[in-house]
Structure 1
Amino acid sequence: MHLRGRFLGRWIAEVFVPWYEITRDELPDCWPLHRPALVELSWLRSAHAQAYLRSAPPSAAGEWHQRWRPGAVDRLRTVIDRNLCGPGFHLVPEAERPAPHLPPGPDGRRIPPGRQLALPQH
């Protein structure tokens, strides 16, 4: 996702934020550290590109403006906890801080069971 991430960051900086006046409250600085936010924004960027294809019906852009963009901005509030992240700060929740009695996750961090991904072995 590295190359895709570069395109996403560029779209965020050149289109999404300046043209739609997205604030740091709506999109905290640490958005790239949140995988669900990356997925949401990647989808939104793809939908935006599709809506503005020459072959797209005019309703596609309207749908993006009225439905997809506001919905994605609302979902960002869900996937990025504003009590932990905001303009200029990113805190790791207490539940995700390393604890010696928990097994390490795939990236080496120790994650409590309730916060682990729902993998097939569970």
Structure 2
Amino acid sequence: MAAAMVGAAGLAAAATEPVNAELIRLHDDLRLNPGQEPAWHDYVMAVAPDPNVEARHRATQELLPMVPTPRRIALIEATMQQDDMDFRRQGEAVKAFYGKLTPEQQKVFDRDTLPTDDDPRR
């Protein structure tokens, strides 16, 4: 997930946040109050695609054919450990944002972020 805000106030913030239609819809559906906007920004920045992750995966794939099997295992393990740390960091950001939402907003968040059959993340 990546995002931006919409509306007059959101257009200025959009310049500093990654834009993604799913998160624009989520932001609209949540109907955040002004006090929740900083938590939204933190959430969006935490879940935004990280080009370093893609670069790390690409580098790993390029190196695998060139190293012996024990080194391949170590390389894959190191990549998986970093992916796990990234997942945990993002998970903490999601939980922190979720905790700032009202019970009704939490229901909306749960509904809007549930993976669908056509979701490539599934």
- After TM superposition, the score normalised by the length of structure 1 is 0.40
| Larger RCO of the pair (alpha carbons < 8 Å, separation 6+) | 2
